[in-house]
Amino acid sequence: MIPIRDTIPSKNYPVVNNTIIGINVVVYLVQVALIPDLNRFVYIYGLVPARYSVPQITSYFTTSQQLFSLLSFMFLHGGFWHLLGNMWSLYIFGDNIEDRLGPFRYLVFYLLCGMISGFSHLIFNLHSNIPTIGASGAVAGVMGAYLILYPNAKILTLIPIIFIPLFVEIPAFFFLGLWFVIQFISAAGSHGGIGGIAWWAHIGGFIFGIIFLKILLALPGAGVSDHMRKVTAKRKTHRLQVIRPVGPGKDPHLYGTITITSFEALTGTLKLVNIPWGFQKRLVRVTVPAGVQAGSKLRLKGLGKITPDGHRGDLYLKVAIV
């Protein structure tokens, strides 16, 4: 299953989340440039459990190097697809967590999840001399937080069936719950990090992502996030929206809600709307006129239900301003 996007729009630009993605990409480009010395680079800046448990190896590293590796390992990746998978998942789920926590608390949350995932891997592979790298543990923490905050969100997912791509919307609690179960089964059936995947780092990151989320939400805010939200507030909603209309009784018309920002209400905007109805899925261009008010209704002629006499009703979209 490959996640494509979620259905929960964020109200603010994910400044920290996008910055983290950018840093990971830059570090990967540095890795590519250092290919002749890449193994040494990864051993120094990756997380190597034996460096902390075997005195003969520990003596080769300074205290600052040992501490820095607990942070730096989560910004290294083993290849392009490793990087892409982690950053794509972070792109899908991270913006909503930053939206909820605010930029500063989200940065703390992400780094804590990454470091605790490293400790989880270290505990279960105490004497391993194989470097562990990647943002997977930190991203797992983000996914754990998403499960708690948005369990009923829908994840548009690509399921490749032989050569036929199937796109389905899966509830977040099922998608993320299944992902966690797969990680646990894989960890139980493997010996440490065999196969190159740090399963216990994923599990530790996911569980402590939930714990750290609850702790950070319980702490009183310092007001930094409120000031940042004023700066990072989105001026536009996502151009593509999925609207599930309802058609009560024998009413030939369908009714749904389209979400825009106050800026879009003022200036007008154009949206692409996916309207699933029965076994049909229609992609429609919707023009929202400038100056529209919250609660106004946009009429899309001929997109309602088909009546017994062969006529078709209309689709009415109620405007919601966020």
- What is the CATH number that goes with domain 2-232? 1.20.1540.10
Question: For the segment 141-192, what is each residue's pLDDT rounded down to a tens digit?
Answer: 999 999 999 999 999 888 877 777 777 889 999 999 999 999 988 887 765 4
* Span(s) in the chain for CATH 2.60.260.20: 240-321
Judged against a pLDDT cut of 90, whether residue 108 lies above it is answered with yes
Tell me the pTM. Answer: 0.77
CATH, domain 240-321, list 3.40.640.10, 1.20.1050.90, 3.40.50.11610, 2.60.260.20: 2.60.260.20
* Span(s) in the chain for CATH 1.20.1540.10: 2-232
Question: For the segment 261-303, what is each residue's pLDDT rounded down to a tens digit?
Answer: 888 888 898 888 877 665 455 678 888 899 989 999 998 888 8
State the Cα–Cα distance between residues 94 and 87, nearest whole angstrom.
10
State the Cα–Cα distance between residues 223 and 275, nearest whole angstrom.
40
Judged against a pLDDT cut of 60, whether residue 103 lies above it is answered with yes
Start-end of H helices in 102-198: 103-124, 136-149, 172-188
List the one residue out of 77, 81, 55 whose CA is nearest residue 66: 55
Judged against a pLDDT cut of 80, whether residue 73 lies above it is answered with yes
